[in-house]
Structure 1
Amino acid sequence: MGKKGTQPPGLAQRFFRWFCDKDLLASIEGDLFELYHERLQKEGKLRADLRFVRDVLLLFRPGIIGINSKEYKTNHIDMFRNNFKIARRTLWKNKAATIINMLGLIVGITSCMLIALFIQHEMSYDTFQPNAERIGRVVMEYSFDGGEESSKGTFTSTKVAPVFSRTFPEVEKAIRMNQSSAILQLGGNPVTEAGFMYADSTFFDAFAYKIIQGDPKIALNGPRKVVLTESMAKKYFGESNPVGQALEVGDNKTVYEVTGVMEDYPYNSQFRFDFLASFSSLGVNQEESYWNANYTTYVLLQDESSFGSMAEKLPPFMEKESADLGATINFTLEHFDRVHLYSPYSDFVPNTHIKYLYMLAGIALLILVIVCFTYINLSTARSVERAKEVGIRKVSGAGQSQLFWQFIGESFLLCGLSVVASFIVVYLVLPSFNNLIDRELMLGDLLSLTFLTFTLALTLGLSLIAGAYPAIFLSKFQPMKVLKGIFKNTPSAKWLQQSLTVFQFGISVFLIIATLVVQGQLNYIQSRDLGYDRAHIISLPIGWNTDFQKINTLKKELKASSQILEVSRAASSPVNINSGYSMNLPTRPENEVISVNANPIDENFIPATGLKVIAGTNFTEQHIRQTEIEPWEKKEFHYIMTESAAGKFGWSPEEAIGKEMILNQQGTVVGVVKDFHFQSLRNDLQPLVLFSASWGGRLLVKINGENMPESLSFIEKTWEKILPERPYSYHFLDEDYDRMYQSEMQLGKLMNLFSTCAIVLACLGLFGLSSYMIQQRLKEVSIRKVLGASTFQVLNILSGNFVRLVLIAIVLASPIAYYVMSSWLEDFAFHISAPWWAVMVAAVLTLGIGLITSGIHGLKAALSNPANSLKSE
């Protein structure tokens, strides 16, 4: 053991003994320890420890211990081959443990692969854009003088882009964009295309594109020019060259010249369009005002550092610009490459909040933890079975390190086979998974370098994490005790098994509570009284310019059916009204206006949507006709306010009736309706004014719902008779409402799916562990039965320990889950309280699962014949 006083501390000594075989230990141990002691005095403990580890590792280099390079390679190849053969035979021999571990690994790895594909897809948004790091999206914030509240969003006027380009040297290019649907003619028939986007010609300077035909420098440099994607070019022009040909757009069949064809824009982009038309086609290129903010503006900066200087320059500049506007206006820039995951504002594509990706990544990690713990538990539980194998191999000359890598090899082989099987499962289930999450995850993503690297790292990580403790634990067995038959599991091994079981079921409890809370909030969203009725209401886009008389005729024709209850024309449905207006009183200063949302409606809107009038009356047909008068100054407007809007002027609902107020222009308040949720439940209730109008871009049709197919068929036939020039399309208000909570709906679906997987994996682990643990106690059970123990008493003894572990898991996990989910609910202005019953349900469910899982083997043991277990003694 070397000279007295020259030994290193216990940690370094254990490392040395573990890494070296017995003969090598005897020959060099003293010299190494003496050298360590000298370094300790000269260089300090840290450097001495590091050099000691290095010296031990160098002993395994070819030539150091008298083995030449060729022999070294041959020996290691033979050893690897033998280890692989032993691992294969061991896994085949212990089929039950292998099946349980493989099933767990396949389910766990498949779940992680699907989550990883989803996260990879969401994080890949706009990564193909070469200028992503220096593109900013303009956010506008304004408040009126004297007003207490401000409005903020990505809406801007057409003035912002030219002013920014002209004023700030940091801005290289500015791009205005707007997306809407458009009516096109295909084979002589009208077709509605949703992906019709307008953009400045500078679009091609800022964003990635690949022009197949045409010149991007002139493609959008004038009005009524349009670039098609490759798929749309084939749809409308077949195999012929579309460049230079005409495309009829809109109700008036305005002729657009096709100036180019570009590759289909990637799906993982903030922009999804099929047609890219010149912004000047809108005829709104004026620079008159910062109002009329109905467009989105992007800026291409000189470099990424320009974000900081723009943040400093914009407030003082806009303070001067808005000095005489009676309002405070300011602009900020959002980093384009952070919009999809970090911005609260969605323009063209719904965003996914980064916190949801963190939650899913956390679920994936928890699933992997359960899988690893199951492997560790089963391996340590089987230690008694494998003890004699280890003892014999050690007596035959196997070193501890050789045994360690043997068990790691088994783990790697099992994980490798499971990964291959998981790839097959992912390939089979990916289409269904895409339908579940409403995404287009591609099979090719499985073979991408990023995903293959992730998979390799996952395989190696699982192999090491799951196999390391069993390998160390098993390789340390003392051959003498094992072969004498006096070996048994150590207290530390039992403690570890119990701890891992608690952790597994703690994860299950956490996920059950989280899933119940998410589903509870989603049910609350679906069932909450919103203040309006959205059931059986169909929304049909009719266009803002459709003739008023035709719409009146269509309304009368539809209401002739007994299945149609109400028909209304409006700008927005009650699901989502988000339009910036200001209101004031004739008796107040002009600059003391109040920000408010507003919606033009007709006299049928309130009956169709079920809004509750609490004071005054609804609009009349006469009120609507008074808005048809020309010119604009002669139009007469009437207003219906919500309670919150009336309260802004200090009015009660009754006091508001008959009052004069200013919105579009001065008019009379004729009614007050009860507050209702016309925006997401994430937002507080906002004031709203409904004003009389004969225009609007949609038709709301309320049907009785008794014979839905017949009602829809009647509406379509009536539409085609009166509006044959417009394509017929419809959707239900319920669909619009659900679309607002798309991220939460997807999170709920994924939570249900992967929480179920986690619970199944925990049960699988407990099933396997209880099988081995009870198998080791069969003789004890037999003796107890011979001495008179009942089946219930035996079952209580065998299952009681597992039940205690589950109860500990419930106690530890419940408060953590309750706190985390309470924090998540705070994102909603209107939400449920984290329900106490979710903890109770999780506790009962987990306890029941634990009892059933462990009770199956316990009951089998309790009902077995004692003679079969005792006759071997």
Structure 2
Amino acid sequence: MSIVFCQLSTIEKVKTEKSNPPQIALRFFRWYCSPRLLDYIEGDLLEVYERRLKTSGKRLADFRFAVDVLLLFRPGIIGSRKNNYASNHIDMFRNNFKIALRSLWKNKPSTVINVLGLTTGITACLLIALFIQHELSFDKFQSKGKRIARVVMEYGFEGRPETEKGTFTSTKVAPVLSRTFPEVEKGVRMTTVSMILRLNNEPVTESNFLFSDSSFFNTFDYEMLEGNAATALDGKFKIVLTEAASKRYFGDESPLGKILEVGEKKTPYEVTGVMRDYPKNSQIQFDFLASFSSLGENQEETYFNANYTTYLLLNNEFAFAPLKEKLDPFMEKEMKGTGATIHFHLEPFREVHLQSPYPAFVSNTSMSYLYLLGGVALLIIVIVCSTYINLSTAKSIERAKEVGVRKVSGAARAQLFWQFIGEAFVVCCLSVLVSFSAASLLLPYFNSFVSRSFEFTDLLTPAFLLITFLITVAISLVAGSYPAIILSGMQPARILKGLFKNSSAAKQLQQSLVVFQFAITVFLIVCTFIIRNQLSYIQNKSLGYDRNHVLTLKIGWDTDYNQMKTLKQELKKHPQVVEVSRCGSSPEKIYSGYSMRLPSTPETEVIMVNANPVDEGFVKTSGLHLLAGRDFSQQDIELVTPEPWENKKFHYLINESAAAKFGWTPEEAIGRELVLNTTGVIVGVIKDFHFQSIHDALKPIVLFTSTWGGRLIIKTSGDDIPGTLAYLEQTWKKNYPRPSL
């Protein structure tokens, strides 16, 4: 029986093959024929072929079929399958989009919950991503960034283990290293100060005033709008303005060749150029770029006048290691016989902002903070995705019949899968649009929190829009995949019979997601409490000085002493003003490095110390505690006003740590002579206080009498703050006109 069946099958197969037209011609026809005409014309061709096969035989029928296929190859019949394929997909996408909108509109409560949940998470992620993207982009625009090094100086004294390390260098470093080492192509010296300029004949304090060598333009990228960069800083008293500064002082007029009066002495600076505002993601920030030679301090006789920042442009990005090997032997020769040691370290320019412990002209950010923020953003995304998955899976029963009808109608599982992914994408897109609005409203508060100046346009940059798009796609896929798999995998027969219900696996996943979601939420809440406690600790920890109700103002270092004395007297007339002081640095940030010793000690045996020039009101204004001796008096300040320097008589206040360096108790230190820049008398000892990071151990510090300084500190009682501020503003403008406090 089986043999007969096989023979019959073989006969049928032969008959079928004989009745078929040539496959090559048929495939060619199907390839070029327009899809809308294919079924009709192919049917006619096959019908004619069958008639010819019966009347003329297979060979002639095959030949005539091939000829007909070639004759039909003409513009009216030829169609683009590719365009139709694309058109079908566009139609499918449009249809799925409409279905998604209708479904979301039909289920308004769940849609609102999903959109609000995703909006909250995406808004937080947008702000975090904005901050991370900004920090990671620091200095990346510098085309020579891989060849630039910042010099870090570490100095100490022979026989003493203590060293001081920082970005302070002397004016000698850049020219000497440029001449000595072939690896160094250029050297740039910089320092930023607060300077007094005049706007409409009124003095204005500008804090972003940068002095730099002319090699700045050979080292760093810039866009010069007016002037010649090659000669802009090649002499004394020349200055280049940023575009914003130019408009502020000269409006729409060209400032080239015009004069700006700088400082209390109204030194005339010639404007030699205007450049585009420097990017915010740069460690070098300025509004005014003045020639370094204007300082009159470009001498090369010492390495110890270390108050400047030095950058080196190397001849290639691989010169760091060879140059470092040469620096130590070179400096050993340079410092031989001085009793001091100096080591220079090179920091890659692009690593300064995220990896250096030493800030540049803006505050640094730690890479670990960015990792932490990125982790928080990821956890937030996981939470919102979990919420979406739970809600969508819970709604799957309600949509079961819809899926069943679609499957019976011929919908493939892949089509249903992408339809539900499309719904998730639509929800995410709506959430992103709302998130952008929310982020724009929150930007001022976010800027205050992170100490940045982001604008809404920063959210619309191509790079950030790409990040947003990737986040949207990722959330759509992660949040929509599981509900799409569940819904598209339903069996139509069971659905239409009403037998469908959530699987145990789906329920287990929902329960797991809820537990996981709560675990992450609890983790973030705990982290929030920890951070809050840390901030509370920082805010409430006793730092050794009083920071409540204190205003710190930047003023010009060269502001006239008598003028500031008059201003202080006027300010103290208000009953809510407790004390006013002029100083070099406010008490929370004192970094100036000095060496101190006893008059009987050799110059090679010194102790490293931080020091701060202050007047008679600094201790009271800062709330420092006097342990022994007395505070500075007005008479002490008057003793440092005479010129020349040799006629000045200095008095010192030292802290406990400084006294301990000499083995003194606070009482024993009173009346002792001490050599800082010059010999002076210790009149008091103050309690140790944190004048740098609280991560650092308490260090020795010396306060010395002075008539100059770049800070004005005003201590108020804290009562009637609006009235006090109004009085300060009025008195400030009356005695020293300039913009508001």
TM range (shorter): 0.7 to 0.9
Q: Secondary structure at the residue paired with 1:285?
A: coil
Task: Name which of 162, 167, 171 aligns with 1:158.
Answer: 171
Shift of 1:656: 2.7
Q: Residue in 2 aligned with 1:139? A: 152
**Structure with more helix by fraction:** 1
Distance 1:557 1:77 in 2: 76
Q: Residue in 1 aligned with 2:366? A: 353
1:345-376 deviation line (CA, Å, top 9, x unaligned): 22322222222222222222112111211121
Distance 2:698 2:195 in 1: 33
CA contact (8 A) 1:121 1:441 kept: no
CA contact (8 A) 1:199 1:277 kept: yes
Distance 1:567 1:83 in 2: 71
Say if 1:403 and 1:242 are closer, same or farther in 2 by CA, change over 3 A: closer
Q: Residue in 1 aligned with 2:420? A: 407
CA contact (8 A) 2:154 2:163 kept: yes
Q: Which has the larger radius of gyration?
A: 2
Q: Residue in 2 aligned with 1:577? A: 590
CA contact (8 A) 1:183 1:727 kept: no
1:264-303 deviation line (CA, Å, top 9, x unaligned): 2222222222221111000001001111111111111112
Task: Name which of 372, 376, 397 aligns with 1:363.
Answer: 376
1:205 aligns with 2:218: yes
CA contact (8 A) 2:264 2:560 kept: no
Shift of 1:594: 1.3
Task: Name which of 688, 692, 704 aligns with 1:675.
Answer: 688
Distance 1:713 1:72 in 2: 73
* Percent sequence identity over aligned pairs: 59
Q: Residue in 2 aligned with 1:6? A: none
Task: Name which of 288, 297, 314 aligns with 2:310.
Answer: 297
Task: Name which of 583, 601, 610 aligns with 1:597.
Answer: 610
Distance 1:549 1:424 in 2: 53
Distance 1:315 1:672 in 2: 39
Q: Secondary structure at the residue paired with 1:383?
A: coil
Q: Secondary structure at the residue paired with 1:257?
A: strand
Distance 2:264 2:320 in 1: 42
Say if 1:95 and 1:231 are closer, same or farther in 2 by CA, change over 3 A: closer
Matches within 5 A, 1:303-702: 303-427=316-440, 429-430=442-443, 433-434=446-447, 437-541=450-554, 543-560=556-573, 562-628=575-641, 630-702=643-715
Q: Secondary structure at the residue paired with 2:397?
A: helix
Say if 1:573 and 1:426 are closer, same or farther in 2 by CA, change over 3 A: closer
Distance 1:77 1:258 in 2: 60
Q: Which runs of 5+ in 2 are unaligned?
A: 1-29, 33-37, 40-79
Shift of 1:203: 0.8
Distance 1:372 1:441 in 2: 28
Say if 1:626 and 1:103 are closer, same or farther in 2 by CA, change over 3 A: closer
Distance 1:569 1:80 in 2: 70
1:561-603 deviation line (CA, Å, top 9, x unaligned): 5444334343222222211011223454432321111123333
CA contact (8 A) 1:541 1:729 kept: no
Task: Name which of 256, 270, 285 aligns with 1:272.
Answer: 285
Distance 2:594 2:471 in 1: 54
Q: Secondary structure at the residue paired with 2:346?
A: strand
Q: Residue in 2 aligned with 1:284? A: 297
Q: Residue in 1 aligned with 2:16? A: none
Matches within 5 A, 1:695-714: 695-712=708-725, 714=727
Distance 2:663 2:128 in 1: 52
CA contact (8 A) 2:162 2:608 kept: yes
Shift of 1:611: 1.5
Distance 2:445 2:583 in 1: 38
Distance 1:226 1:204 in 2: 13
Shift of 1:527: 2.0
Shift of 1:407: 2.3
Q: Between 598-607 and 388-397, report the one with greater CA deviation.
A: 388-397
Shift of 1:238: 3.2
Distance 2:181 2:411 in 1: 75
CA contact (8 A) 1:181 1:196 kept: yes
Shift of 1:475: 2.7
Q: Residue in 2 aligned with 1:850? A: none
Q: Residue in 1 aligned with 2:107? A: 94
Q: Secondary structure at the residue paired with 1:385?
A: coil
Say if 1:729 and 1:678 are closer, same or farther in 2 by CA, change over 3 A: farther
Distance 1:74 1:715 in 2: 71
Distance 1:598 1:536 in 2: 25
Shift of 1:516: 1.7
Structure 1 vs Structure 2 CA RMSD: 3.0
Distance 2:442 2:647 in 1: 63
Q: Residue in 1 aligned with 2:209? A: 196
TM-score by length of 1: 0.71
Shift of 1:144: 1.9
Q: Residue in 1 aligned with 2:26? A: none
Shift of 1:186: 2.2
Shift of 1:628: 4.0
Shift of 1:665: 3.2
Shift of 1:173: 0.9
Shift of 1:79: 4.8
CA contact (8 A) 2:653 2:686 kept: yes
CA contact (8 A) 1:639 1:668 kept: yes
Q: Residue in 1 aligned with 2:46? A: none
Say if 1:62 and 1:150 are closer, same or farther in 2 by CA, change over 3 A: farther
CA contact (8 A) 2:577 2:716 kept: yes
TM-score by length of 2: 0.83
Distance 1:248 1:277 in 2: 12
Shift of 1:620: 4.1
Letter in 2 for 1:415: C
Task: Name which of 149, 173, 177 aligns with 2:186.
Answer: 173
Letter in 2 for 1:93: K
Say if 1:475 and 1:335 are closer, same or farther in 2 by CA, change over 3 A: same
Distance 2:569 2:328 in 1: 53
1:229 aligns with 2:222: no
CA contact (8 A) 1:244 1:259 kept: yes
Shift of 1:558: 4.6
Distance 2:393 2:464 in 1: 32
Q: Residue in 1 aligned with 2:73? A: none
Distance 1:408 1:152 in 2: 57
Q: Secondary structure at the residue paired with 1:456?
A: helix
Shift of 1:669: 2.9
Q: Which runs of 5+ in 1 are unaligned?
A: 1-60, 731-873
Q: Residue in 2 aligned with 1:108? A: 121
CA contact (8 A) 2:263 2:556 kept: no
Letter in 2 for 1:168: F
